[in-house]
Amino acid sequence: MFKIYSFFFLLIFILSGCGIFVKKKPPITKEEMEILAENYVETGIDYFEQREFQKAIVEWKKALEYIPEDADVHNFLGIAFHRVGHLDSSIAEYKKAVALDPNYHQALNNTGYIYFLKGEYQTALQYFDKALKVNPSYQQAILNRQKCKEIMDGRLKIAAFELFENANALDSLELKIQNYKKALEIDSNYVDAWNNLGVAYHYYGYLDSAVYCLKKALSINPEYPQVNNNIAFLLDGTGDYEAAVYYYQKAILAKPDYLVALVNLGDTYYNMKDYDSAQTMWEAALKLDPDDSWLKEKLDKVNSTGGKE
């Protein structure tokens, strides 16, 4: 909703020897403060999604003038500061979020990630461990801890990781592909780089190259859930449903709560006209995300029509 503000300009004639009486505005109510803060937060989110990170920072700082103890907004600010390269400011905001909510596992993980980027690996591990103590199944912290250990143990080269991270931040598919390739020149066993290169090739329209990269990733780590999901998705698109089912099942076996793979497998079964299996997969997915209206529509369609249009 757009709000329209009207500005009235008053021309004041100041006469010598006369005082000026200014009517004070009544104090802002708590409800009004919350509305203002919410507007600033939402505007900041809009700017962030448009990659206008500096503008997002301005809006979220305004929000904190009214809600200084909102841990989420401090976490948002930390993310935005990271995006503009202000790593110390990012850490400071994450720590404020954790001080306000010691069980904020996302902010703990985010703090660890910035220390990881700064090369302070032991401190990064401490924060990843704190995040996992609060939420042992938090996948992002699990993956970040794994990458941190790989670099510390010499199993992943930091130069390859930096190229990989730079590629992820780019908008250009061509530049992404170039950077992933450079990362793989440094570390040919970098599974994430093979996976992301495959995804980039897919969006670029090079299906054969995409499949090759994903299969290369699986040759290094056959159980990697995301890679199995991605290659299954490509195979489903070519109509090779049996192979797609195989790889989706491998992804779900490795990660039973893999929501995306459950939904995708349901879609593949639906394409195969195996509506009972599709329903089973979507019901399992809905248990993980009960508020997903899109999934509910899929299930309603199967239940009401048996899958028929």
Mean pLDDT, the chain, rounded, equals 88
Residue 126: partners with Cβ closer than 8 Å, 6 or more residues away: 112
- Spatial distance between the Cα atoms of 206 and 30, rounded to a whole number of angstroms: 56
Kindly state whether residue 270 falls inside one of the protein's structural domains. yes
81 is in which domain, residue-wise? 29-155
Q: In one letter, which amino acid is 122?
A: Q
Count of the separate structural domains present in the chain = 3
pLDDT digits (tens, 9 = 90+) for 146-188: 999 999 999 899 999 999 988 988 889 999 999 999 999 999 9
% of the chain at pLDDT higher than 90: 78
213 with 171, same domain? yes
For tokens 């996302």, the residue is 106
The answer to whether residue 124 is domain-embedded is yes
Residue that terminates a domain, selected from 155, 190, 207: 155
Residues 87, 160, single domain; the answer is: no
Domain end among 155, 177, 209: 155
Co-location of 143 and 90 in the same domain: yes
Q: Verify that 125 and 214 share a domain, yes or no.
A: no
Q: What is the mean pLDDT of residues 286-304?
A: 88
- State whether 187 and 228 are in the same domain: no
99 and 175 part of one domain:
no
Shared-domain flag, residues 239 and 303: yes
Indicate the residue among 184, 199, 220 that finishes a domain: 220
139 and 184 in one domain? no
Q: Quick one: pLDDT band at residue 21, thresholds 50, 70, 90?
A: low
Is it the case that residue 263 has pLDDT exceeding 60?
yes
Verify that 69 and 130 share a domain, yes or no.
yes
pLDDT tens per residue, range 61-109: 999 999 999 999 999 999 999 999 999 999 999 999 999 999 999 999 9
How far, in Å, CA of 226 to CA of 231, rounded? 9
In whole angstroms, what is the distance from residue 26 CA to residue 243 CA? 68
Based on the domain organization, do 99 and 62 belong to the same domain? yes
Verify that 232 and 309 share a domain, yes or no.
yes
* Pair (160, 145) in one structural domain: no
- What is the per-residue DSSP string for the chain? ------------PPPTT-----PPPPPPPHHHHHHHHHHHHHHHHHHHHTT-HHHHHHHHHHHHHH-TT-HHHHHHHHHHHHHTT-HHHHHHHHHHHHHH-TT-HHHHHHHHHHHHHTT-HHHHHHHHHHHHHH-TT-HHHHHHHHHHHHHHTTSS-HHHHHHHHHHHH-S-HHHHHHHHHHHHHH-TT-HHHHHHHHHHHHHHT-HHHHHHHHHHHHHH-TT-HHHHHHHHHHHHHTT-HHHHHHHHHHHHHH-TT-HHHHHHHHHHHHHTT-HHHHHHHHHHHHHH-TT-HHHHHHHHHHHHHTT--
What's the CATH number where 303 sits? 1.25.40.10
Does the pLDDT of residue 11 top 90, yes or no?
A: no
The answer to whether 61 and 73 are in contact (CB under 8 A) is no
* Assigned domain for 15 exists: no
Per-residue model confidence (pLDDT) at position 301: 85
Please measure the distance between the N-terminal and C-terminal CA atoms of the chain and give it in whole angstroms: 37
Give a yes or no: residue 8 inside a domain: no
Q: How many CB atoms lie within 10 A of CB 181?
A: 14
Question: Is pLDDT above 60 for 13?
Answer: no
Mean per-residue pLDDT for 194-214? 95
Residue type, 162: E
> How far apart are the C-alpha atoms of 241 and 233, rounded to whole Å?
9
271, part of any domain: yes
Q: Is residue 6 part of a domain?
A: no
Does 3 score more than 70 pLDDT?
no
In a domain, 18, yes or no: no
Spatial separation of the C-alpha atoms in residues 111 and 102, rounded to whole Å: 13
